Amino acid sequence: MLQSLFLSGPLSLAPGFITVSSLVRSRFSLLKLFLVSLLSILCCSALAQSQTGGQANLKARTGNEPHSMTRSTAVDHAGTAASFYEELRKALKKRKTRVENICPPSDSVARRVLEEYGAIFLAIKKVTTPPVCIFTSEEQVAKFQDKLDYVTENVAGADIELQTAAMDALIEARKQAHQEGLDITPRDGSEAARRSYDDSLHLWNTRFLPALEHWLAQGKLSEEQVVRLKSMPLRSQIAHVLELEKSGIYFSKDLSKSILYSIAAPGTSQHIAMLALDVNEFDNSRVREILAEHGWFQTVLSDLPHFTFLGLEEEDLPKHGLKSVEADGQIFWIPNVVDPPR
Ligand SMILES: [Zn+2]
């Protein structure tokens, strides 16, 4: 930036100097020379100020108003974002694993989960990502969580458990929020962060069961279908729910969208990895900006209070295979799926 100022300075001054030879002939000319030079200097310094101001604004927009920036360029980001699967392969290689190990591409449920919640696998190396897309038992989740580097902190009256790097970033974000007279608090107490397999199963049923009753009453599902759906193994249940949603029989809380945007399928929650936090103040744009500045982003489309710790810079997200999508007036960073494996 300084370089560009030095370049533009002399060029802008030049007209002032060119007038020198023609003006020195009279005393009036000397006065004119003084005035013209003064004017040139003033113009230049105004120009310089407007340039530095412009740079500062740009920086502020990049650093402090990421959402207003991304909102206006959401389409561009989607267009220039790297391929999610390509970046995922690289990220998993650094963790000495492969997409086939965590989420077999032939498993349609696992694949859907990966493409909806997979941003978490791109998180910084400092945190641990799940060894699988879908945990299948409480025992498996407990074993994974026990090995994590995590801490418990009392945040606004609730005991919150997060991986250490995620907690450190959250604490810094809260400090920043407090300085600005704002706060970042967990939604619904401790459940806002760490969840067990059983928690994720319970939460699934809080959406799945009422939706069954609703669609039964609407005549869209028969008694027989409802009984069958309730009794089938979980994996089949999830697959059937996702299939029914293709015909508009939605299972989210308000029955208007996929259940995956309302609650995670059992065993798939980012909360299990202790890298997610549901935030009360999600509708405050400055709170979202502060969280983004500290590596916390909304990565599950239209799950408004849900933030994921990636630990990355927002401006780098496209090159990590995430694209920004605007929904409900907020920006979500989701996998840019362009070349799904077959
Ligand atoms: Zn959540």
The answer on pLDDT for 31 being more than 80 is no
**Residue reference for tokens 């025992």:** 139
Band of pLDDT at residue 339, cut at 50, 70 and 90: confident
pLDDT tens readout for residues 124-155? 999 999 999 999 999 999 999 999 999 999 99
CA of 325 to the centre of ligand 1 (A): 18
Topology (CATH level 3) of domain 66-195+269-335: Muramoyl-pentapeptide Carboxypeptidase; domain 2 (3.30.1380)
The token pair at 304 is: 């408004």
Band of pLDDT at residue 267, cut at 50, 70 and 90: very high
The share of the chain scoring above pLDDT 90, in percent, equals: 70
Q: What pLDDT, on the 0 to 100 scale, is given for residue 77?
A: 54
How is 241-310 classified by DSSP, letter by letter? HHHHHTTT---STTSSS-GGGTSPPTT--GGGGT-EEEBTTTT-HHHHHHHHHTTEE--STT-TTEEEE-
pLDDT tens readout for residues 269-297? 999 999 999 999 999 999 999 999 999 99
CA of 43 to the centre of ligand 1 (A): 54
- CB neighbours of 300 closer than 8 A, spacing ≥ 6? 116, 117, 260, 261, 270, 306, 308, 332, 334
CA of 332 to the centre of ligand 1 (A): 13
The answer on pLDDT for 15 being more than 80 is no
Q: How far apart are CA 188 and CA 136, in angstroms?
A: 25
CA of 207 to the centre of ligand 1 (A): 14
pLDDT tens readout for residues 206-264? 999 999 999 999 999 999 999 999 999 999 999 999 999 999 999 999 999 999 988 88
Q: What pLDDT, on the 0 to 100 scale, is given for residue 5?
A: 34
CA of 64 to the centre of ligand 1 (A): 24
The overall average pLDDT reported for the chain is 82
Nearest to 281 by CA among 315, 256, 304: 304
Q: What pLDDT, on the 0 to 100 scale, is given for residue 82?
A: 95
CA of 38 to the centre of ligand 1 (A): 61
How is 5-45 classified by DSSP, letter by letter? HHHHHHHHHHHHHHTHHHHTTSHHHHHHHHHHHHHHHHHHH
Three-state secondary-structure class, residue 337: coil
CA of 7 to the centre of ligand 1 (A): 51
CA of 305 to the centre of ligand 1 (A): 7
Are the CB atoms for 177 and 183 separated by under 8 Å?
A: yes
CA of 90 to the centre of ligand 1 (A): 26
CA of 274 to the centre of ligand 1 (A): 10
Nearest to 119 by CA among 296, 299, 301: 299
Q: Is 223 exposed, middle or buried (0-12, 13-18, 19+ CB in 10 A)?
A: exposed
The share of the chain scoring above pLDDT 70, in percent, equals: 77
pTM over 0.85: no
CA of 196 to the centre of ligand 1 (A): 13
The token pair at 150 is: 């995590």
- Give residue limits of the domains in the chain: 2-63, 66-195+269-335, 199-261
Question: How large is the average pLDDT for residues 320-341?
Answer: 91
CA of 111 to the centre of ligand 1 (A): 20
Question: How large is the average pLDDT for residues 42-53?
Answer: 35
CA of 158 to the centre of ligand 1 (A): 16
Torsion of CA 41, 43, 45, 46, to 10 degrees: 160
Band of pLDDT at residue 41, cut at 50, 70 and 90: very low
CA of 278 to the centre of ligand 1 (A): 5
CA of 124 to the centre of ligand 1 (A): 20
The answer on pLDDT for 26 being more than 80 is no
The token pair at 80 is: 């220039």
CA of 162 to the centre of ligand 1 (A): 13
Are the CB atoms for 289 and 295 separated by under 8 Å?
A: no
Rg of the chain over Cα atoms, rounded to whole angstroms, equals 27
The token pair at 218 is: 């609407």
CA of 244 to the centre of ligand 1 (A): 24
CA of 191 to the centre of ligand 1 (A): 9
CA of 119 to the centre of ligand 1 (A): 14
CA of 30 to the centre of ligand 1 (A): 73
